Amino acid sequence: MASFRTGTAALLLGLCCLGTLASPLTLTARGIRHASAQDIEALAPFTQFARAAYCPKHKLHGWNCGEACAAIPDFKPTLVDGDGNLVQDYFVGFWPEKLAVVVTHQGTDPTKMFALMTDLNIVKGPLQSALFPGVPSNVRVHYGFQLEHAKTAKQIKEEVLKLMETHNVSEIYTVGHSLGGALALLDGLFLTLQIPYASIKTVIYGAPRVGNEAFARFIDQMVPDLTRVNNQRGKNTVIVDRELAYQWPLDPIPVLPPRWPLGFKHPEGELHLTGSGSAVYCDGEDNDLDVACQDRTVHEPIILTGNLFDHVKWFHQYGGF
């Protein structure tokens, strides 16, 4: 897996002060199950797609971006666009091995001012009905993320439909890391609503929260095949129940923007990495009771102990960029 050169330092600095005061931690294990080696290995190709989104566009056009592209040699990109600033880089293509169309977005480039402004535009608002028909009226989504998504939604939909028709397939994968993960989550919902006969699978890595509780519930309903991978790294391990570990510092981005006072919430589908080659599935949305899951291990009240290096480097244990 990869060492990402993305960053969201401005997002962290802008939001870390909004965490709640610390409440007593209840270190209990509830609602988790350990992922098998096969489960983790099955994510490897999606990780490579997320890595590839950070490659220069001229290399993506020829699918010649080093290890990430070499790991999925039969993939054929057909649309590569964006500038990494006003429009996040993204690509769409066909994956013959899985008979699927793949849509992947790049995460934040910390050297690009407009990309950082996208992260910081944290006011929530309703989704555009033209893009998301039938969304409940109480759904609210991060304006920066939804405005960024809207810039490429039409082009992505057209390319996806063309590839589905050309190859006679109905499977679509949406993938991304960090800001790219937020966009991939919105793509998962957008394509589900726009192409209801398609089968959508969404895999996102180190993604921030995207919307309110109503949004999370709607994602649970409409995009049930969602894997939301988070990282756990750090020192000062406390062993709980002989198996689980409470660790810090950790990747802080998945607990931003904060639940309180801004009202953001993750959907279900968390797979939390707990070590090299090990992970646990976490029940519920923003599982804040289980010590092996993201909200408890990073925990909003101790957000300042989070480590952005664990966000940008968090696939390192599985192989370098």
pLDDT at 214 > cutoff 90 = yes
Residue 15 pLDDT > 60: no
Least confident of 2-11, 30-39, 46-55, 64-73: 2-11
Reported as a single tens digit per residue, the pLDDT across 77-119 is 999 999 888 889 999 999 999 999 999 999 877 677 666 667 6
Residue ranges of domains in the chain, CATH in brackets: 9-318 (3.40.50.1820)
pLDDT bucket at 232, cuts 50 / 70 / 90 = low
CB 6 within 8 A of CB 107: yes
Contact assessment for residue 314 and residue 251, using Cβ atoms and an 8 Å cutoff: yes
- What is the pLDDT averaged over residues 292-317? 48
